[in-house]
Amino acid sequence: MKHDRPKLRDVARLAGVSTATVSRALSNPDMVSEDTRAAVHAAIEATGYRMNLAARNLRHQRTGGIVALVPNLANPFFSQILSGIASVLGPAGYNLLVADTTGAGPDLLLDYAEPSRADGLIVLDGNFPMVALEPGRVPVVQACEWVPGLPAARVKIDNRAAAGVAVGHLLDLGHRRIGHVTGPANNVLTEARIGGVRDRLAEAGLPFPDEAVYQGDFSLDSGRQAAGQWLTQPRDSRPTAVFLASDAMACGFIGEVQRHGLSVPGDVSVVGFDDIELIAHIAPPLTTIHQPRAEIGRLAAERLLAQLRGESQADGDTILPVELLIRASTAPLAI
Amino acid sequence: MKHDRPKLRDVARLAGVSTATVSRALSNPDMVSEDTRAAVHAAIEATGYRMNLAARNLRHQRTGGIVALVPNLANPFFSQILSGIASVLGPAGYNLLVADTTGAGPDLLLDYAEPSRADGLIVLDGNFPMVALEPGRVPVVQACEWVPGLPAARVKIDNRAAAGVAVGHLLDLGHRRIGHVTGPANNVLTEARIGGVRDRLAEAGLPFPDEAVYQGDFSLDSGRQAAGQWLTQPRDSRPTAVFLASDAMACGFIGEVQRHGLSVPGDVSVVGFDDIELIAHIAPPLTTIHQPRAEIGRLAAERLLAQLRGESQADGDTILPVELLIRASTAPLAI
DNA sequence: ATCCTTGTTGCAACCGATTACATTATGCCT
DNA sequence: AGGCATAATGTAATCGGTTGCAACAAGGAT
């Protein structure tokens, strides 16, 4: 008998008012008189009514959801960003939808920018198809990575400067041959960070030869492979310090170096990037660039919400500060 | 002029047919003649029509979304599970909504079990309010953790047995005083794992005194604190080997022990739980119980989809195998 | 006493698709 | 030629709330 969920109409009938009144009692309480409001609430209580969000959203032309497009969900780097995003979206009454962009064609990705799918988009992937901001598509905020031509808000760090700081630290320690393990090709972060390295070395009047550049892809394994290359290079010409574009790679690098009987920082100083959870606790604790991930997520979400409220301009960068955390994986150049 | 998005009606008008026909051309192509289908598609092309999902979902009484309830999104342990879930849900045409349960009251959590919010629920938190399966709520699958009385499908590992295997390994190495760092109180995993330890020790005729149990909460820091306690205990009566209920805690434990000049596994053997990404590459590489996280996510999603299709019974456990990975953090008892 | 303002409430259109049912056209059978 | 099954399409109700507009009552100002 009570198999069907009660609808607004049922509540209205029981309370002896129209559906319009019930609707108003719920979403615009001040528009209905004290008495009716009470009657309506009693009826809601009695029927166990719960509103159908799909219907409301259809009428309101909104979905109540924000999509976060992540390059690789399995990468723990993103979990804290998502956590930051969720911490803002939840209280604001929005759902967080998460989608992994790996293996998704441009068509599928653009689908997420449909107003009937989500009210907004937080893009963590620098390879998002640029058409995203066509009229009739939802507002977009980019976080961490960004799409070069895309006129959407960005929340990020200054990767170029951060890389410069990392290299500067190694220079301060007396290192003169400094290597760099890059991120994947065609990635804005890769470009920015390698640019920062190049700039800083040039500023110091030091060379940056091709042999000092190791192609990586942010993954632990690519860091190990970079170490493999480094190990084969002649001891007296290879880098005495290496800056890697991710902590995961730094981990792999250190592991491989140690496996070959060499020591960090004894034989090579290592600086990572990101400051992911565990790397403060490995041996040796990793010197790295701290990136405020949760904060990036929070701010990205907040900027998006501001746009949805029409409060904020749709572009402009928010640059968050990074911090060089000096731990035990770097040491003065041994003479 | 073309500011509004075209609707079904616009396509119909342009194609010279009714909205019903357009709708059918899209969702039931065989019901319309070849000619009309072509005309409709031409009109769709011409107008740039894209369907409004909210409207379709309202009519279909579905949302196209599955919610994953995560105890703590920032914990990288869950990112791979989510990745597994997403890899199944995406291709099946479902959106993945992610919600963090920390700080959410029972009311809010139950809200996620509303049919107008999501079509199904994957619960990764053992403290979900039990009422979830009231009639009129959506199907639920539990993954990793589970709610004791809840008659919903479960995808998990045998935590008790896994803990037994971990302890067995330490026994095989000759250890007789074995400690355990637990998860948080009121957690089913904590209970199951400590139970497994107790069983295995009893089986071996060994005691399991209170001093050998350290209260943790899965976090890195609680592992460090446990090490602090262990370090204060008398050398000749404290455990010579410790099994920790999470890798994060094992990491913290090892770090703290090393910081005090002791060695792992020289002074204490350590076994973790989970096999998270990096711990194979720390020094020493951590011996641990591998948990197939992506697979857990995939299977949970598949069981839920099967339920949504009405293909599968709504309860019953799926138990996945674990694996003891012996690395370098455990060694035979020094005599 | 009349007009106007303010506060409540109902009617009915509306959001944008889907689909049961009705209608029309076509082809085949006897 | 009449009857009937079949295919293709249109009409309009429907999913479940929201909201512009109108109606009406009560109180105040003139």
pLDDT at B313: 75
CA–CA separation, A262 vs A80, rounded Å?
33
A83 contacts in B (CB within 8 Å)?
72-74, 100
Provide the 10 A C-beta neighbour count for residue A99: 22
CA–CA separation, B87 vs A100, rounded Å?
8
Size of interface A-B (CB pairs under 8 A): 149
Given strand A120-123, what is the order of strands in its sheet? A317-320, A153-157, A140-143, A120-123, A65-70, A95-100, B95-100, B65-70, B120-123, B140-143, B153-157, B317-320
pLDDT at B317: 94
Q: Is B149 left (phi over 0), alpha (psi -120 to 50) or beta?
A: alpha
pLDDT at B268: 98
B219 contacts in A (CB within 8 Å)?
none
CA of B35: nearest nucleotide by C1' is D8
Contact B65 A97 (CB under 8 A): yes
Cross-chain CB nearest to B277 (options A65, A76, A97): A76
pLDDT at B178: 98
In tens digits, what is the pLDDT along chain B, a chain of 335 residues? Answer: 445 789 999 999 999 999 999 999 999 999 999 999 999 999 999 999 999 999 999 999 999 999 999 999 998 899 999 999 999 999 999 999 999 999 888 888 888 999 999 999 999 999 988 765 677 789 999 999 999 988 899 999 999 999 999 999 999 999 999 999 999 999 999 999 999 999 999 999 999 999 999 999 999 999 999 999 999 999 999 999 999 999 999 999 999 999 999 999 999 999 999 999 888 888 889 999 999 999 999 999 999 999 999 887 777 899 999 999 999 999 999 87
> E strand or H helix at B321, and its extent?
none
Q: Which of residues 285 through 304 in chain B touch A, CB cutoff 8 A? A: 285, 294
- To the nearest whole percent, how much of chain B has pLDDT over 70? 98
pLDDT at B247: 96
CA–CA separation, B41 vs B25, rounded Å?
8
pLDDT at A301: 97
For the record, the structure tokens of A248 come out as 């995961």
Provide the 10 A C-beta neighbour count for residue B260: 11
Residue A131: band (very low, low, confident or very high) from pLDDT cuts 50, 70, 90: low
Provide the 10 A C-beta neighbour count for residue A260: 11
- Which 3 state secondary structure label does DSSP give B213? strand
Cis peptide before B332 (omega within 30 of 0): no
Among A70-79, A110-119, B290-299, name the most confident range: B290-299
- One fold for B61-156+293-319 and B159-292: yes
Domain B159-292 superfamily per CATH: Response regulator (3.40.50.2300)
Residue ranges covered by each domain of chain A: 8-51, 63-156+293-320, 159-292
B74 contacts in A (CB within 8 Å)?
79-80, 83, 294
For the record, the structure tokens of B247 come out as 């890798």
> Which of A87, A12, A96 is CA-nearest to residue A49?
A12
CA distance B251 to chain A (A): 7
pLDDT at A206: 97
Chain A interface includes B144 (CB < 8 A): no
Strands A95-100 and B95-100, how do they pair? antiparallel
Q: What is the mean pLDDT of residues A99-125?
A: 90
- Closest residue on chain A to B276 (Cα): A76
Between the CA of B232 and the C1' of C19, what is the distance in angstroms?
74
Q: Within 7 Å: CB of A176 and strand D?
A: no
Residue A109: band (very low, low, confident or very high) from pLDDT cuts 50, 70, 90: confident
- Which 3 state secondary structure label does DSSP give A24? helix
Q: What is the mean pLDDT of residues A135-147?
A: 90
CA–CA separation, A113 vs A134, rounded Å?
10
CA distance B205 to chain A (A): 36
Q: What is the mean pLDDT of residues A165-190?
A: 97
> E strand or H helix at B257, and its extent?
helix B247-259
pLDDT at A214: 98
The β-bridge partners of B269 are B241
Over residues A230-261, the pLDDT tens digits come to 999 999 999 999 999 999 999 999 999 999 99
> For helices A293-308 and A77-89, what crossing angle results, to 10°?
40
Q: Within 7 Å: CB of A61 and strand C?
A: yes
Instruction: Check if the beta carbon of residue B259 is closer than 8 Å to that of residue B265.
Output: no
A99 contacts in B (CB within 8 Å)?
86, 90, 95-96
Strands A317-320 and A323-325, how do they pair? unpaired
CATH number of A63-156+293-320: 3.40.50.2300
CA–CA separation, B242 vs B182, rounded Å?
11
Provide the 10 A C-beta neighbour count for residue B51: 16
Would you give the distance in Å from CA A99 to the centre of its chain? 12
Protein-proximal nucleotides of chain C (any atom < 7 Å from a CB): 7-12, 14-20
Q: Within 7 Å: CB of B31 and strand C?
A: no
CA–CA separation, A329 vs A332, rounded Å?
10
The amino acid present at A8, given as its one-letter code, is L
CA distance A258 to chain B (A): 9
CA of A4: nearest nucleotide by C1' is D16
CA–CA separation, A195 vs A262, rounded Å?
29
CA–CA separation, A327 vs A210, rounded Å?
28
Q: What is the mean pLDDT of residues A125-133?
A: 78
A2: pLDDT strictly greater than 50: no
Q: What is the mean pLDDT of residues A283-308?
A: 96
pLDDT at B28: 92
Instruction: Outline where chain A has alpha helix (H).
Output: 8-15, 19-27, 34-47, 53-60, 77-89, 106-111, 159-172, 188-203, 220-232, 247-259, 293-308
CA–CA separation, B141 vs B312, rounded Å?
12
> Which of B131, B128, B132 is CA-nearest to residue B118?
B132
Q: Is B2 exposed, middle or buried, given 0-12, 13-18 or 19+ CB atoms closer than 10 A?
A: exposed
A117 contacts in B (CB within 8 Å)?
53, 95
Chain B interface includes A50 (CB < 8 A): yes
Q: Within 7 Å: CB of B26 and strand C?
A: yes
| Vertex B100 angle, CA B94 and B104, to 5° | 120
CA–CA separation, A290 vs A322, rounded Å?
6
CA–CA separation, A213 vs B296, rounded Å?
39
Chain B interface includes A258 (CB < 8 A): yes
Chain A interface includes B315 (CB < 8 A): no
CATH class of B61-156+293-319: alpha beta
Chain A interface includes B80 (CB < 8 A): yes
Would you give the distance in Å from CA A132 to the centre of its chain? 18
Residue A132: band (very low, low, confident or very high) from pLDDT cuts 50, 70, 90: low
Strands A213-214 and A178-181, how do they pair? parallel
Q: Which CATH architecture has domain B8-51?
A: Orthogonal Bundle (1.10)
Q: Within 7 Å: CB of A53 and strand D?
A: no
> E strand or H helix at B202, and its extent?
helix B188-203
Q: Is B195 exposed, middle or buried, given 0-12, 13-18 or 19+ CB atoms closer than 10 A?
A: middle
Q: What are phi and psi of B89, to 5 degrees?
A: -65, -45
